[in-house]
Amino acid sequence: MTYRHAVALAAVLLGGVGAVHAQTLPSYMAPISGLTATTPAETATKDMLALNTGMFELYGDAAKVFRANILAKHPVILGLFSGAGGKFTLYQPGKPPLDAPSVPIVYQLLKSVGHSTMALAEVVGPYVNNPDNKSWLGSMKAYRSRMQSALDGLDLTPMQADWRDNNRTILQNNLAFMDECIAKGVIPFDTLETFGKKQAPFLAKNVTWAAQTQVNHWMTVLGDWKKMLGPDWDKAYAASNTIYVARQNNVLFSVLAQFFPPEAINDRLLLIETVSFTTTQADMLESLTRIIADRSVGSLFFGNYHLMDYELMGGDARAAIVAESAKRGMTPFLPPVVPFGSNQWPTLITTGPGPATIADLK
C-alpha cells in the first residue's frame, strides 16, 4: 500500500463511513475516531467555492501554453529594478534571451555614497536627544570604519575628477558628523539638522549624475535593440516593475516610453506593481502573460479587449459606493471614470502646487 492509499484509508476510517461501523473499530482507533457532522448546505457551499480554486489551477496550466505562444510571436522586453541600475532582457522569437550590459559601475558608487549618508540618519534617528541611551555607539563606530575605508580608496575608483571631489566632501562630512557624535556620546537634534542641510547640495549632485548615467546607458541599449528588431519592434511588448516609492517618474518605464508610441502605454507597454524592489523574470513573464491572456477572455465574453485590465467589480463597486454614501449622508470621493484601454501614464499625472523635484525644494 502506498503512502497516499494509507492516508486515504485513514480518512475513510475517521470519517462518515467509519462512523457507521464505529462499534467494530479496534481500541487503538478510539482516541482519534468519532462522528463527523457536515450539513448538506456546508457541502454545497464547499463544492461551489472549489470552482474558484480550480480556476486558478486550470489557469496555471494554460498560462504555460499562453506564454509560449506569446514569446513565439512577439519580442518581449523586461526592465527589472535592481541596485545596479536595472536589468533589461530581450526575448526574441526562436532565440535565447538576451541580457543587456549593466549600467557603468560609477552609478553604484554614486548611490552607495549617497545612501551611506542617508543611513546615518536612520542609525541615529531613534536616539536623538537621548543622552542615557548609548546603544548606537557600537554600530556607529563600526560604520565609521567602513566610511574611512571608502574615503581612503576613493581616488582609485572609476569616477571622473569633479564627481570624485563631490563624493570626497560627502564622506568627509559624514566622518566629521560621526566623530562629533561619538565624542559627545549624544546626538543633539540641532547637530543632526545642521548635518542634513550641509549634505543636501552634495547629495543632490550625486542624484543628478547617477540619473544621467543610468538614463544614457539604457537609452543606448534600447535604441540599439529597436534598430536590431526593425519592423518587429511594432509588435513588441515591454514591462517594468515598480513598488510604491518608485512608481512616479519610474526610470525604467519612462525610458521605455521614449521608444514606444503614446498609444502603446497600458497596451504593449506596461508598468507592473510589485511588493518589493526586486522581482524575478519568471514572475514578470507570468504577470505579463496573465494580462495579455485575460484580454482575450474579456473580448470573448464582453466584447472589449482591455476590460480585464481592470478589476471587474470595480465599476459596479463604484456605483455601490455612490449608493451607500447617499444612504449615509456622505459625499462620494472617487477618481474620474477612465475608459477601458486608456493610454494615459500609469502614474500620477495631475498637476498641482508644491515642489515636484529636488531642484524645486531650493
Averaged pLDDT, 275-301? 92
Backbone angles phi, psi at 147, to 5 degrees: -65, -40
Window from 22-26, 212-216, 225-229, 268-272 with minimum mean pLDDT: 22-26
Report d(CA 164, CA 155) in Å as an integer: 7
By the 8 A CB rule, do 279 and 82 touch? no
Per-residue pLDDT band for 13 (boundaries 50, 70, 90) equals very low
Backbone angles phi, psi at 98, to 5 degrees: -115, 115
CA triplet 273, 245, 277: central angle to 5 degrees?
Answer: 60
Q: For 166-208, write each residue's pLDDT tens digit.
A: 999 999 999 999 999 999 999 999 999 999 999 999 999 999 9
By the 8 A CB rule, do 271 and 346 touch? yes
Residue among 22, 205, 19, 191 nearest 110 (CA): 205
The pLDDT, as a whole number, for residue 51 is 87
Residue 3, pLDDT > 70, answer: no
* 322 contact partners, CB below 8 Å, separation of at least 6: 332, 334
CA triplet 344, 347, 350: central angle to 5 degrees?
Answer: 75
Report d(CA 219, CA 346) in Å as an integer: 20
Q: Distances in Å between the alpha carbon of 32 and those of 1, 25, 35, 37, 322?
A: 22, 11, 10, 15, 53
Q: For 77-99, write each residue's pLDDT tens digit.
A: 999 999 999 999 999 999 999 99
Per-residue pLDDT band for 23 (boundaries 50, 70, 90) equals low
245-261 in b/e form (b: 16+ CB < 10 A) is ebeeebbbbbbbbebbe
Backbone angles phi, psi at 5, to 5 degrees: -65, -40
By the 8 A CB rule, do 34 and 50 touch? no
Cell numbers placing 318: 463604484
